[in-house]
Amino acid sequence: MSARPSARRSRTLAAATLVAVTAGAVLVPTAAFADAPAPAGTLPLVATLEANAGQAPLTRGGNGAELTMTVTNNSDQEQPFHPAVTVKPVGSAPTGWTWIDFSAKAISAPATYGLRSWGAGNSFSGYVLPENSMYFVPFKVPAHTTYSWAVSFKLKAALPADDTAVEVGLVNDQNDSTNSGPVTLPVASPTGALVQSFSNVSGGVSFTKPFETDLRLTNNGAAIGSTINPTLRFGDGSRPVPADLKLDVLQGGQWVTVPGSGSVWQLPPVVGGLGQGATQHYNVRLSLTGFSGPGSYFSDSLGLVPDTDQGPVDTTVKATLSVDGSPVL
């Protein structure tokens, strides 16, 4: 008697997802928090995200946003809840991930932490997660229970100058909650929202090879009308640098050595200041002229001193420079 195949076969769909966690941030699939159609009927959870009373306009490098996230389980069974707070700038899309800080903590909920995450198109979302859990672990909300959290974020100088507001939303990828609508918060432009960036964020210098990069100083705040005097430094100033370095800046098509000592150099001034969204470019070249050791190799960071005579400079992203002091044979 021959075997008869079943009319119904089970099918399994396998998907592989690559997740990279670096410096408190997690790279997630683009669609991790994409909107999905809600199932028919009443959802068991009701989730809201609201700005706290008295919320002032946000400022780059200053006043941030304080919000309260709440979820209520109206069902008779425990329910999963895996929320994220999305922040979408109203204006230019930022080109990196240094424009926002994010945190979360429990008010009346299990111990909690916030984890930065992102997808395609420079979209930002911050996971709100049970403490010491991986990014995919949801909260378990008991029946007829309300949990609440304090979530906050701060905008940094790297947010482009034409972003005058941010739209803040709540997403739950378990698709078992109704979610409150987005909240739009205005962004003010204080004077002096300066941020540095480099065309080369890593490289090396030796007795036979200099290091070159384009250093950019951008003002993402209100216009600055006075001269800005930026200072460049190799290392953080906490210990002597065992290398003698010479700094040249390209001016009028010629490399010009700028004054400095102890791996600190005064760059040419930005005469007249910087308008809103304007950038000052410095093509810089570092050359190794002496090495004291110990050893013959070390690395450190290159960046502006984090304040000028016109206010603070966001120096989060620096250039990493390796120094090879091996003698030339």
* Burial 94-131, CB ≥16 within 10 A → b, else e: beebbbbbbbbebeebeebbbbbbbbeeebbbbbbbbe
Has residue 14 been placed in a domain? no
Residue with structure tokens 């922040």?
87
For 304-317, write each residue's pLDDT tens digit.
Answer: 999 999 989 999 99
- The reply to whether 271 falls in a domain is yes
Q: pLDDT tens digits for 96-154?
A: 778 999 999 999 999 999 999 876 566 799 999 999 999 999 999 999 999 999 999 99
Residues spanned by the domain of 218: 194-324
Final residue of a domain: which of 188, 211, 230? Answer: 188
| Residue 16 within any structural domain of the chain | no
CATH number at residue 312: 2.60.40
Same domain, 132 and 226: no
Residues 272 and 316 reside in one and the same domain: yes
For residue 181, name the pLDDT band (cuts at 50, 70, 90): very high
- Residues in contact with 204: Cβ distance below 8 Å, sequence separation at least 6, in sequence order: 211, 321, 322, 323, 324
Q: Give the pLDDT score at 284.
A: 98
| DSSP-derived secondary structure letter, 224 | B
Q: Answer whether residue 1 is part of any domain.
A: no
* pLDDT classification of 41: cutoffs 50, 70, 90: low
Q: Clarify whether residues 184 and 62 are in a common domain.
A: yes
Mean pLDDT of 245-255: 96
DSSP per-residue string spanning 292-328: --SSSEEEEEEEE-SEETTEEEE--S-EEEEEE-PPP
H/E element, 50 = strand 45-51
For residue 96, what is the DSSP state?
Answer: S
Q: CA 84 to CA 315: how far, in whole Å? A: 28
Q: What is the pLDDT of residue 26?
A: 55
Instruction: Mark whether 183 and 206 lie in a shared domain.
Output: no
Q: Would residue 8 count as lying in a domain?
A: no
Cross-strand pairs, 26: 21, 117
Please compute the mean of the pLDDT values over residues 80-95 and round it to a whole number.
Answer: 92
Nearest to 135 by CA among 27, 267, 252: 27
Are 181 and 209 in a shared domain? no
Residue 250 dihedral angles phi and psi, to the nearest 5°:
-75, 120
Tell me: do 184 and 84 sit in the same domain: yes
245 in any annotated domain: yes
Cβ-contact 66, 85 below 8 angstroms: no
Residue 217 pLDDT exceeds 80: yes
Is residue 69 domain-shared with residue 105, that is, in the same domain?
Answer: yes
Q: Could you give the percent of the chain with pLDDT greater than 90?
A: 76
100 falls within a domain: yes
**76 or 24: which carries more pLDDT confidence?**
76
Res 16 pLDDT > 50: no
Residues 6+ apart with CB under 8 A from 191: 221, 222, 223, 224, 310, 311
Q: Are residues 141 and 273 in the same domain?
A: no
User: Do 218 and 312 sit in the same domain of this protein?
Assistant: yes
Give pLDDT, residue 98: 86
pLDDT of 189: 84
Judgement on whether residues 212 and 285 belong to the same structural domain of the protein = yes
Domain endpoint, select from 131, 153, 188:
188
In the predicted structure, residue 167 carries a pLDDT above the cut 60: yes
Instruction: Give the pTM.
Output: 0.82
User: Does the CA dihedral 141-142-143-149 come out positive or negative?
Assistant: negative
Q: Residue 298 domain-assigned? A: yes
Q: Which of 188, 211, 242 is the last residue of a domain?
A: 188
- Based on the fold, state whether residues 240 and 173 are members of the same structural domain: no
Shared domain check, 210 and 261: yes
Polymer length of the chain: 329
User: Which letter, b or e, does each residue of 138-169 get, where b requires 16 or more Cβ atoms within 10 Å of its Cβ?
Assistant: bbebeeeeebebbbbbbbbbbbbbebeebebb
Round to whole Å and give the CA distance between 267 and 285: 12
CA distance 74 to 136: 23
Q: ∠ CA(289), CA(290), CA(294), 5° rounding?
A: 150
Q: The tokens 């909690």 sit on which residue?
A: 112
With beta carbons less than 8 A apart as the criterion, state whether 255 and 287 touch.
no
Number of domains observed in the structure of the chain: 2
Of 174, 149, 128, give the one whose Cα is nearest residue 71.
149
Q: At 60, which CATH number? A: 2.60.40.1510
